[in-house]
Amino acid sequence: MMEIVYKDDSRYNEYENLLMNRDRYRKEADSALRQYIRVFGEQIAAVFKQKIACIERKKMLSYCMIYHNRGESVDMTRVQEQLKRDMVEYQQQLNNMIADNEACKNFKRIPEHYVIKIRQIYRRIARKLHPDLNPLTEQHEELMELWRRNITAYNCNDLKEIEEVEVLVDKALEALGQGKTEITIPDIDLKIEKLYEEINKIRTTDPYLYRELLDDPSLVKEKQQELEDELKEYKEYAAQLDQQLKQFIVEGGTFTWTSQQD
Task: Encode burial over 127-143: b for 16+ CB neighbours within 10 A, e otherwise.
Answer: ebbbebbbebbeebeeb
Q: Report the 10 Å Cβ neighbour count for 106.
A: 8
Q: Where are the domains of the chain?
A: 109-181
At 260 the pLDDT is 56
State whether residue 256 is helix, strand or coil: coil
Q: What is the pLDDT of residues 104-143, one digit of tens each?
A: 887 767 788 888 999 999 999 998 899 988 888 998 999 9
Predicted structure pTM score: 0.81
**Distance, CA of 202 to CA of 23 (rounded, Å):** 10
Q: What is the pLDDT of residues 14-53, one digit of tens each?
A: 898 999 999 999 999 999 999 999 999 999 999 999 999 9
At 245 the pLDDT is 87
Q: With contact defined as beta carbons under 8 Å apart, do 256 and 80 qualify?
A: yes
At 255 the pLDDT is 59
